[in-house]
A and B are shown apart, each in its own frame.
Chain A
Amino acid sequence: MESVISSSKNKYDAVLMSAIKQALPIVLGYLPVGFAYGVLARKAGLSIDNTVLMSLIVFAGSAQFIAVGLLASGASALSVIITTFIVNLRHLLMSAALSPYLKKWTKLELAIFSFQLTDESFAVHSTRFSNGDMSKSETYLINSIAQAAWVGGTVLGIFSSTLITDVKPMGLDYALPAMFIALLIFQIKDKSHVIVGLTTGILSTALVLGGSGQWNVIIATLIGATLGVAISWTRN
C-alpha cells in the first residue's frame, strides 16, 4: 500500500515537474507583462478588485491593455466589449486548430481547458498534442501555472503602482507593442504572411488617420485575411 502511494506521488511529481518546465517560458513572459498591466490599470483608475478580476476572468493580455487604454480615455462599456471581442476573435482559430486533438474530452473538460486558452498556451499545446503528449492533468497544470503567473504579475504591478509615479522611464508602456511584435513574428510562416501583415498594418493606420475609431482593427483584419486567401489562390 505504501509503495502504491509513493509511486503515485512520484508520478504526480513527474507530471508537475514536466508542466513547470513547459510553462516556464510562458511564466517568464507573463510576469513582466502582467506587472505592466497591473501598474497601468491602477494608473488608469481601475480599482484593485477590478484590476485583479480582469486577469482572473478575462485572462487575455493584449485585450486587457487595450481595455485599460479605452476605459482611461472614457470609452463606453459597449465599445470596450466590442473591441475585446474583435481583438480576441483570433482565439477562434486556435480553438479550431486544437479541436481535432480534443475529440475524447468531455464537454466540462473542454470548458475548463478553453477558459485558459491564450496565444502562448496555444503555442505550447499545439506542439505537445502533435507530439502525442495528451495528458489532461499536465495540460491543466501548464494552463494554471501560466494564469497564476499572469495574476501574480498583475498583483505585483498593483503593489508597485503607488511606488511607480511614471511608467515611462521603465519602458512599461512598451510591453504591449513588444509582445505584439513577438507574437506577430511567430505567426509569419511564409511570404504571404509578410504581405498580409504589411498591408493590414498600413491599412489599419490609414483607417485610424481617417477617423475610424476602434473599427480599424476589424476592418483591416477582414480585408487582410481575405487578401491572404487571394494570394494563396493565385499561387496555386
Chain B
Amino acid sequence: MDQKLILFTLVGMMAVTYIPRLLPALTLSSRELPPVIVKWLSYVPTAVLSAMLVPSLIAPEGSISLGFDNIYFWVAIPTFAVAMFTRNFFGTVAVGMGLVAAVRYFL
C-alpha cells in the first residue's frame, strides 16, 4: 500500500467529514429550515444505517445467504433484541462480537 496516497486520502476524508459536521452549526443557528427538509433529514440516519447494515447481514459474500453458515445474519437477531431492550451501545456491541466469537469457537 502506498502510505503517502493513504495520507492524502485521510486529509480528503477529514474534509468531507468535518464540513457536514461544521456547516449546519455555523450557518443554521440564525435561520429556520423548511419543515420538509427537516423532516427529510430526520429520516437520513435510519436510512443510511440500514443501507450500510442490511447488505452486510444478508449478503456478506456478495450473494444472498440466509443459511446457518451465515452467522452475521443469525447473530444479528439477538443483537437487535439486546439493542432494543437494553438501549445500551456497549452492551450491544459486546454481545454481537461475543456471540460471533462463541459460535466460531463452539461450532
Contact = CB atoms under 8 A, between A and B. Distances in A.
Interface of A: 25-26, 28-29, 32-33, 36, 44-47, 49-50, 53-54, 57-60, 62-63, 66-67, 71, 77, 80-82, 84-96, 98-100, 102-103, 105, 107, 110-111, 113-115, 117, 119-120, 168-188, 192-193, 196-198, 200-205, 208-209, 216-217, 220-221, 224-229, 232
Contacts of A100: 29
Contact of A168 (B33, B45, B76, B104): B104
B67 interface: no
A170 B105 CA distance: 9
Contacts of B49: 90, 180, 183-184, 187, 197
Interface of B: 1, 3, 5-14, 16-18, 20-26, 28-30, 33, 36, 38-59, 62-64, 72, 75-76, 79-80, 83-84, 87-90, 92-102, 104-105
If over half of A's interface residues share one DSSP class (helix, strand or loop), that class is named, otherwise mixed; here it is helix
Contacts, number: 298
B28 A96 contact: yes
A208 B65 CA distance: 14
B48 A87 contact: yes
Contacts of A98: 25
A235 to B, nearest CB: 11
If over half of B's interface residues share one DSSP class (helix, strand or loop), that class is named, otherwise mixed; here it is helix
A201 B76 CA distance: 14
B79 to A, nearest CB: 5
22 contacts: A25-B89, A44-B1, A47-B3, A50-B3, A50-B10, A54-B13, A58-B10, A58-B17, A60-B17, A67-B9, A81-B13, A89-B44, A95-B25, A114-B22, A119-B45, A174-B100, A177-B53, A181-B80, A182-B89, A193-B43, A209-B64, A224-B43
